[in-house]
Structure 1
């Protein structure tokens, strides 16, 4: 047998073993999961059926019991439903043969799925009337198992074809000197070649095999590699090299997102830290000690501010900016005094001084104006003396000048009188321009009939913990739209507040309401902002599971700017992500931002996550996004928010 054939057989054998192993393991785990799901489905059905049966059988009405069983059985999700009396006699017995559609007969014969029965007692008071037994129909389980096998086989076949092609390239060099063969094998190693199971005794061929086996170890690292690559681009574009904090570009983008985007907040504060004589300190000592000091200040700020700080950035050579949400004036004042004391303790060991300035900001403020006020606060602190702190807290703007309690009363009245209106903005497929969904936005209707933008009342709603009530009122309107036109195929996407997710009563209400909505829930998508997901990952994971349980979709809004974006994507994979407007607008002017976007798309596609771009304003952006393989787009290029979008 020729050496070429031996190598090809070795590669084929390894891939065959891997293929069989993956298929076997996948079938076993998937079958076990599906059987558990079938059993759970049957048990849920039996439990839900036991109560109405207890009412009908308790009155001796076997006809009504038969109708109750038929109502559930005729949906087609069950193979058999039996109601037996306590003596074992059959009261109601409905049965269908096991249906297996869309799956080859040999596959269903080779791999059997056992649908465990679900049982529940039927009783009236203390008197047992019988037992209901339910067996689920395994049709969908077989179809899912078959499609999973086909998908795995397809990927393995593609990997095998690539491996064979690369092998032929290597074999061209077999008759060349052994050093050239080894060098070629090492080059192919960077191409992530497959595993060779044969270990030749010849030293020359052993080197080739070892090199190619090294390549196989890279295949398992593809997903992790994409994550690391995307994170590297993010660090290159948006992270300060010395401190690891956001650089000025990232700080500006994320701060703009807070001020102008859909992320709502209350009591925003910007803390500025300026190290006054760092340049002289570096000259007298060394840049290494200066960098060490900056790292120390970074650590102190990170530990003290913790999760209160949504943005930690180095905005200049000696300047830092920290954005804190949710603290009123006394709270931010106390926190900054504590920060000043900790920094003074650390800086006291070195011959440096600093100035701290603090300003407040509100939704809709201009970043340039907020930063100008921060510069004034820092300069005032510098003029006040060494290591001084200056708070420059302004009264809230005219839009909220009616006062916090008045805002609370206004929102509560709107909730009582149901004075809300909905707007919708289309999200479309970039290539086909087909509608993906409408993103729903809410407006409060004032007593004078004027619409109050969400950016005005939501910060006050957050302050007074009214978001769960507002989200419930919003969802009721959305549910009515779905129920009013049950035949429509239009999908609606709704943004949720993390404050609502923290409310147990809201989550319980939502679960019950989605259950009542039934199949119409499949036309819904629920979105959380990237910042909201990062606040409580476990709560986000539970919420995603809840909406998917009812066939609704889960998406992450304003994605891509936070340092932990990729971690969130891996920990809680959504059905889709919406890239933040700031990142999308950075792509044409920043190669590193473009590289980050492409890496996010690659990682998302490997996780089967749809990518949608926000802030699409012109046809040139659309063309660029299509080239970057982004699926959908949202922005004024496709339509402005309008009530007509959801009422048409």
Structure 2
């Protein structure tokens, strides 16, 4: 029961008790007054009539005429004259008739008024005794009218007091809605803080809850920092802050084994080593500063041009080389054009007064079923060719693969328009330690030129023309249709970041979810960790809107940027999926085991489930489940 209802019940109870007591006091007082006044009236009327009868003739006609005249002139219910023996000589009565007063009130207001008596004399002897009783109907009628006015006034007072009390209570309880919102946020794993209310009692509650939220935030920040420090020391180059060669090869192997091969995935290596300029020997102790500046320029360029790829991995693979692994990437020739137009690269790398180091670049496309050493052999060969050129910014890039998407505006429109009907649903089972399916991770293929291609096959061009949100909407629509045919299943769908930053696309997505509210509750929408880190406000709004519709939200490809997702405890995420790069060959990677165990504990403390993508062996599965993981997507 709400406080408002309790207030009304309290007011009604108090008013009723007060009304009952007040009415009873007023009623008994008024009735007693009426009884006293009517009794005195009876006595006065009896005395005055007795004097008249004493002085008149004692024949029956005269007595009857005088009594009848008195009876008709006043409001009497009985006038009776008896002789000295008590025998009735004359009697007139009037029966009270009150048609508008209910019987229960008549019984409640019944008067007990003695009759007025007086002696009638005949000379010096007694003639008889006179009895007079006044009518009480008018008194009962008056009490009834007072009662009705009293009840009406009590009702009006109750309504006025109740309405005023409700308004005052609403004002007093205004901070309570914020407190309830905060408590509900806690239950949804969103540990937010709110402003302190003016009411002291509420302020104490808010202080306690804000302290809890801040404590959780501190725990998250400290644990994130601790985990990040441990991971950084074991997997990063201390000079540039980039992942080292061991971490890079793990990422590359994971890319080749787990990620789709239809997307245009590329590997680039940028180097400041050249046959014409031995930078290490020339710079000596200043080389560390040069390679650090070089890595910052590389990272800044790719972060600025995030429209060139979906995912990115950077690493320092030797003294002079920085490797870049891109998924769903633009053509290598376009990346070359962007680098040549950037003033940070077009004139080489300044390393001293009037000295410029060459920035040599090589790039290859990743092929299906290719070993990592084969890829590195190809890119090393191209890089060696670039290093032999007498240029400040030489490139040696592989030609685009024959199966790459060849499209123009006309046939692209046809691809997008027919996409919802051209998709085929596939699923990978996410299972727990008992082998039971938790949900199914979806992926979709489409027919193109007689071949089944993963949806990422068209992602590059869709990004270039701004149609990635249309691809996401088609995928979500297809997933909802699949859920309708599988009433017991849960399906996860990975969205591109372009969808959550586009207001129109978000409106269309929410409209689509609202069109099938019962089915949508079994849908899990995921975003990449990098998307959440780059677009914090859009990600927060996305989580709020989607969770209002009881749709689960998860974070995918988690690992490298988890510490950069600010206020992770406020988003209400249901789960996180660890990137396959961190679970690849886990049995031989002790540092990743330690990192994932800590990450699992942190996520569980925030109420999130922890899953792993692309687990390649049963041994790795067992290690993950022992570390507290709730589920895995296995490739074994």
Same fold (TM over 0.5): yes
| TM-score in terms of structure 1 length | 0.58
Which of the residues 441, 445, 452 maps onto 2:443? 441
- Quote the residue 1:371 is aligned against: 376
Pair 1:285–1:469, CA change in 2 (3 A): closer
Which of the residues 278, 303, 306 maps onto 1:306? 303
How far apart are residue 576 of structure 1 and its match?
0.6
SS of residue matched to 1:389: coil
> 2: distance between equivalents of 1:500 and 1:468?
5
- Quote the residue 1:346 is aligned against: 350
> 2: distance between equivalents of 1:455 and 1:600?
29
Question: Where do 1:188-207 residues align within 5 Å?
Answer: none
The question of 1:357 aligning with 2:374 is answered: no
Q: Based on CA coordinates, which of the two structures has the bigger radius of gyration?
A: 2
The question of 1:423 aligning with 2:440 is answered: no
Q: Is the 8 A contact 1:408 1:464 kept in 2?
A: no
Pair 1:334–1:627, CA change in 2 (3 A): closer
Bigger mean CA deviation after superposition, 366-375 or 437-446:
366-375
The question of 1:605 aligning with 2:604 is answered: yes
SS of residue matched to 1:246: coil
How far apart are residue 291 of structure 1 and its match?
1.5
> 1: distance between equivalents of 2:537 and 2:186?
30
SS of residue matched to 1:462: helix
- Quote the residue 2:632 is aligned against: 633
Question: Where do 1:27-426 residues align within 5 Å?
Answer: 222-255=219-252, 261=259, 268=266, 270-276=268-274, 286-287=284-285, 289-308=286-305, 310-323=312-325, 325-326=329-330, 329-330=333-334, 332-336=336-340, 338=342, 341=345, 344=348, 346-349=350-353, 353-361=357-365, 364=368, 366=370, 367-385=372-390, 388-400=392-404, 402-403=406-407, 408=412, 411-412=415-416, 414-415=418-419, 418-426=421-429
SS of residue matched to 2:521: helix
- Quote the residue 2:543 is aligned against: 544
> 1: distance between equivalents of 2:627 and 2:525?
25
- Quote the residue 1:456 is aligned against: 457
> 1: distance between equivalents of 2:182 and 2:570?
28
How far apart are residue 631 of structure 1 and its match?
0.8
Q: Is the 8 A contact 1:246 1:314 kept in 2?
A: yes
- Quote the residue 1:22 is aligned against: none
The question of 1:515 aligning with 2:514 is answered: yes
How far apart are residue 444 of structure 1 and its match?
0.9
> 2: distance between equivalents of 1:145 and 1:473?
33
Q: Is the 8 A contact 2:264 2:404 kept in 1?
A: no
How far apart are residue 364 of structure 1 and its match?
4.5
How far apart are residue 302 of structure 1 and its match?
3.2
Residues 116-161 of structure 1: CA distance to partner in whole angstroms, max 9, x if unpaired? Answer: 9xxxxxxxxxxxxxxxxxxxxx9xx79977997xxx9xxxxxxxxx
SS of residue matched to 1:321: strand
> 2: distance between equivalents of 1:371 and 1:475?
37
Pair 1:298–1:249, CA change in 2 (3 A): same
How far apart are residue 391 of structure 1 and its match?
2.3
- Quote the residue 1:589 is aligned against: 588
- Quote the residue 1:474 is aligned against: 475
Residues 32-58 of structure 1: CA distance to partner in whole angstroms, max 9, x if unpaired? Answer: xx99xxxxxxxxxxxxxxxxxxxxxxx
The question of 1:501 aligning with 2:500 is answered: yes
Q: Is the 8 A contact 1:525 1:554 kept in 2?
A: yes
- Quote the residue 1:209 is aligned against: none
> 1: distance between equivalents of 2:317 and 2:568?
27
How far apart are residue 410 of structure 1 and its match?
5.9
Pair 1:256–1:338, CA change in 2 (3 A): farther
Q: Is the 8 A contact 2:269 2:324 kept in 1?
A: yes
Pair 1:346–1:468, CA change in 2 (3 A): same
- Name structure 2 gaps, 5 residues minimum: 4-168, 172-176, 192-213, 307-311
> 1: distance between equivalents of 2:182 and 2:363?
59
> 2: distance between equivalents of 1:571 and 1:360?
41
- Quote the residue 1:533 is aligned against: 532
SS of residue matched to 2:458: helix
Q: Over the residues paired in the alignment, what is the CA RMSD in angstroms?
A: 4.1
Pair 1:544–1:327, CA change in 2 (3 A): farther
Pair 1:493–1:339, CA change in 2 (3 A): same
Aligned length, in residue pairs: 431
Q: Is the 8 A contact 1:258 1:363 kept in 2?
A: no
Pair 1:282–1:571, CA change in 2 (3 A): farther
Residues 245-267 of structure 1: CA distance to partner in whole angstroms, max 9, x if unpaired? Answer: 22122333445555652599668
| TM-score in terms of structure 2 length | 0.59
How far apart are residue 618 of structure 1 and its match?
3.7
> 2: distance between equivalents of 1:572 and 1:369?
42
How far apart are residue 368 of structure 1 and its match?
4.1
Pair 1:330–1:145, CA change in 2 (3 A): closer
Q: Is the 8 A contact 2:553 2:573 kept in 1?
A: yes
- Quote the residue 2:488 is aligned against: 489
Q: Is the 8 A contact 1:526 1:552 kept in 2?
A: yes
SS of residue matched to 2:238: coil
How far apart are residue 447 of structure 1 and its match?
7.5
SS of residue matched to 2:441: strand
- Quote the residue 2:44 is aligned against: none
SS of residue matched to 1:241: coil
How far apart are residue 277 of structure 1 and its match?
8.6
> 1: distance between equivalents of 2:349 and 2:628?
51
Q: Is the 8 A contact 1:556 1:577 kept in 2?
A: yes
Pair 1:611–1:278, CA change in 2 (3 A): farther
How far apart are residue 562 of structure 1 and its match?
4.3
